Amino acid sequence: MTTVPNQPRDRIAELIAPLRVRPGATVRLPKDFDPGYTGGISDKEAGVELLQRGVTMLADLQSRLAAQQTDGLLVVLQALDAAGKDGTIRHVMSGVNPQGVRVHSFKVPSAEELDHDFLWRYGCRLPARGEIAIFNRSHYEEVLVVRVHKELLDRQRVPRKGAVWRRRFEAINAFERHLTGNGFRIVKLFLNVSKEEQRKRLLARIDRPEKNWKFSEADIRERGYWRDYQRAYADMLTHTSTEHAPWHVIPADHKWFSRIAAAAVIVNALDGIDPQYPVVDTQARRELLEVRDALEHG
Ligand code: ATP
Ligand code: MG
* Sign of the CA dihedral running 270, 271, 277, 282: negative
Tell me if 181 is assigned to some domain.
Answer: yes
In the predicted model, what is the mean pLDDT of residues 42-54?
Answer: 94
Tell me if 121 is assigned to some domain.
Answer: yes
Q: Give the C-alpha separation, 201 to 64, whole Å.
A: 37
Strands (E), 154-229: 184-192
Tell me if 101 is assigned to some domain.
Answer: yes
Probe target for ligand 1 pocket from 89, 141, 154, with the most ligand atoms within 8 Å of CB? 141
Q: Calculate how far, in angstroms, residue 219's C-alpha sits from the geometric centre of ligand 2.
A: 6
Ligand 1 atom at minimum distance from 149 CA: 29
Q: With 50 as the cut, is the pLDDT of residue 190 above it? A: yes
> pLDDT band at residue 5, thresholds of 50, 70 and 90?
low
- The region of weakest confidence among 19-33, 126-140, 154-168, 221-235 is 154-168
In order, the DSSP letters of 22-61 are: -TTPPP-TTTTS-TT--TT--SHHHHHHHHHHHHHHHHHH
Torsion-angle region of 29 (φ positive above 0: left; ψ -120 to 50: alpha; else: beta)? beta
Determine which residue's CA is closest to atom 7 belonging to ligand 1.
81
145-185: pLDDT as tens digits = 999 999 999 999 998 879 999 999 999 999 999 999 999 99
Ligand 1 atom at minimum distance from 107 CA: 16
Tell me if 22 is assigned to some domain.
Answer: yes
Tell me if 1 is assigned to some domain.
Answer: no
| Ligand 1 within 6 A of CB of 109 | yes
3-state secondary structure of 74: strand
Tell me if 176 is assigned to some domain.
Answer: yes
pLDDT at 266 (0 to 100): 98
Q: Calculate how far, in angstroms, residue 81's C-alpha sits from the geometric centre of ligand 2.
A: 5
Q: Calculate how far, in angstroms, residue 107's C-alpha sits from the geometric centre of ligand 1.
A: 4
Domain count, the chain: 1
Share of the chain above pLDDT 90, in %: 94
128-150: pLDDT as tens digits = 999 999 999 999 999 999 999 99
| Ligand 1 within 6 A of CB of 142 | yes
In the predicted model, what is the mean pLDDT of residues 54-76?
Answer: 97
Task: Provide the residue count of the chain.
Answer: 298
Q: Calculate how far, in angstroms, residue 70's C-alpha sits from the geometric centre of ligand 1.
A: 32
Structural domain including 256 reads 6-296
pLDDT at 228 (0 to 100): 98
Tell me if 10 is assigned to some domain.
Answer: yes
Tell me if 219 is assigned to some domain.
Answer: yes
CATH number at residue 216: 3.40.50.300
